[in-house]
Amino acid sequence: MLDSSISFIPDAHLLLKWYDQNGRTLPWRAEKSAKTDPYHVWLSEIMLQQTGVKTVIDYYHKFLTKWPTIQAFAQASEEEVMKEWAGLGYYARARNLLKCAHQLIEIGGFPSTPAELRKLPGIGPYTANAIASMAFNQPYVAVDGNVERVAARIFAFLEPLPAARPALHKLSETLNHSPAAQNRPSDFMQALFDLGSLICTPRSPACLSCPWINHCQAFKNNQAAELPKRAPKAKNPTKYGAVFILENEAGEIWLQKRPPKGLLGSTMEMPGTSWELERQDEKEILSRAPIQGKWQKAEEVKHVFTHFTLFLMPYFLPSSSQKFSAERGRWANPAEAALSTLMKKAYQNFLAQKSTPQQKD
């Protein structure tokens, strides 16, 4: 591993020249060297956490169509925000967006320094640096997966992640220590992102097309495809659960709101069982149903979370549940509710099973 005090800095001018010709056109970016709206940078960066660009673009457009300014967004209800966010996952991001918007209105707009930005809900070191760099043209490096990969290869950083991540991040922050990068901080930051996304890819990097090929220590050592190194991952556990789908004559289903904190926080869900490490006996599962009846099964849902895989069995009643009521929850149109991707899968499997002719005994 190279020493963190390394004086070698790749030529930012070469990267910026490549970016001017090859940079991606993204809806939250202004024209090169133009000022970017901090609302746009903030919204897109929060959405891009744990989520790919292709998925985010549609959500970004939806949000800006509904709430074109931070002032408009700050007037939204949590239920409205969760509905528009549904399917993006990591729902704490949506709740923090709204909290952050309220604070931004109180303080009169976005602060321009990472230190002040980090005081806001949902904004950590990466997002603070990204906003300061891209919206306020300040010379900070926001280190995401793309930048980690570029730095690991440029400096031939051999220590495995995640343990060595702090050291790699320190190296990454030296990438803009040159006059050309300091003169165009916003463009340089976005050029780093694009280099990692388009050229310095996780697998089969296009090294021969890289503007930094002559600066890359990993390329010289024929190690580019191997870096960054990662420690072996522990196998994630598997969990099992069930949901009970109650539908009335209007096609509404009974939904309840998950607690604000925790997995899928503040999203709507069908009543169900807890998620266990072992598959439960069906008699035990049905004893937890909200009402007694001849429950039928739809196709089981497999859903992969970051730390575990869930198998969720949707149960439903073949007849109308119009008279059902409980202290917690309400009837709601599933198309308009803030259902998570998991609950949407369960509901779709229910619709598919419901439309399938049942064989008579």
pLDDT (0 to 100) of residue 33? 59
Contact 82, 91 (CB under 8 A): yes
pLDDT (0 to 100) of residue 327? 78
Does residue 125 form part of some domain?
A: yes
**Do residues 28 and 78 both lie within one domain?**
yes
pLDDT for 55 beyond 90:
yes
Distance, in Å, from the CA atom of 231 to the CA atom of 161, rounded to the nearest integer, reads: 6
116 among known catalytic residues: no
pLDDT (0 to 100) of residue 208? 96
Sorting pLDDT into bands at 50, 70 and 90, what band is 149? very high
Taking all residues of the chain, what is their mean pLDDT, rounded to a whole number? 91
Which of these ranges, 10-24, 56-70, 246-260, 345-359, has the smallest mean pLDDT?
345-359
Q: What is the CATH number of the domain that holds 157?
A: 1.10.340.30
**Do residues 115 and 163 both lie within one domain?**
yes
SS3 161: strand
**Do residues 272 and 142 both lie within one domain?**
no
Number of structural domains the chain divides into = 2
pLDDT for 1 beyond 50:
no
Q: What is the pLDDT of residues 284-296, one digit of tens each?
A: 999 999 988 899 9
pLDDT (0 to 100) of residue 4? 41
Which of these ranges, 30-39, 105-114, 255-264, has the smallest mean pLDDT?
30-39
**Do residues 277 and 152 both lie within one domain?**
no
**Residue labelled with tokens 């001018």:** 13
Does residue 360 form part of some domain?
A: no
Contacts of 288 (CB under 8 A, 6+ apart): 242, 273
**Do residues 43 and 189 both lie within one domain?**
yes
Residues of 183-199 as b/e, b for ≥16 C-beta within 10 angstroms?
ebbbbbbbbbbbbbbbb
Q: What are phi and psi of 99, to 5 degrees?
A: -60, -45
Sorting pLDDT into bands at 50, 70 and 90, what band is 137? very high
Q: Among 221, 249, 269, give the residue marking a domain's end.
A: 221
**Do residues 164 and 23 both lie within one domain?**
yes
Q: What is the pLDDT of residues 186-215, one digit of tens each?
A: 999 999 999 999 999 999 999 999 999 999
Catalytic annotation, pick one of 45, 148, 247, 269 = 45
pLDDT (0 to 100) of residue 249? 86
Average pLDDT estimate for 140-151: 96
pLDDT for 6 beyond 90:
no
Q: Domain span at residue 278?
A: 238-355
**Do residues 131 and 87 both lie within one domain?**
yes
Does residue 128 form part of some domain?
A: yes
Q: What is the CATH number of the domain that holds 294?
A: 3.90.79.10
Average pLDDT estimate for 227-241: 92
**Do residues 16 and 163 both lie within one domain?**
yes
pLDDT for 9 beyond 90:
no
pLDDT (0 to 100) of residue 3? 41
Sorting pLDDT into bands at 50, 70 and 90, what band is 107? very high
Average pLDDT estimate for 128-134: 96
| pTM of this structure | 0.79
Average pLDDT estimate for 87-116: 94
Distance, in Å, from the CA atom of 255 to the CA atom of 317, rounded to the nearest integer, reads: 15
pLDDT (0 to 100) of residue 360? 47
Q: How far is CA 38 from CA 25, 134, 321, 344, in A?
A: 17, 8, 48, 33
Q: Is 353 exposed, middle or buried (0-12, 13-18, 19+ CB in 10 A)?
A: middle
Strands (E), 59-168: none
**Do residues 77 and 171 both lie within one domain?**
yes
pLDDT for 81 beyond 50:
yes
Sorting pLDDT into bands at 50, 70 and 90, what band is 34? low
Sorting pLDDT into bands at 50, 70 and 90, what band is 50? confident
Does residue 5 form part of some domain?
A: no
If phi > 0 it is left, if psi is from -120 to 50 it is alpha, else beta; for residue 315 that is beta
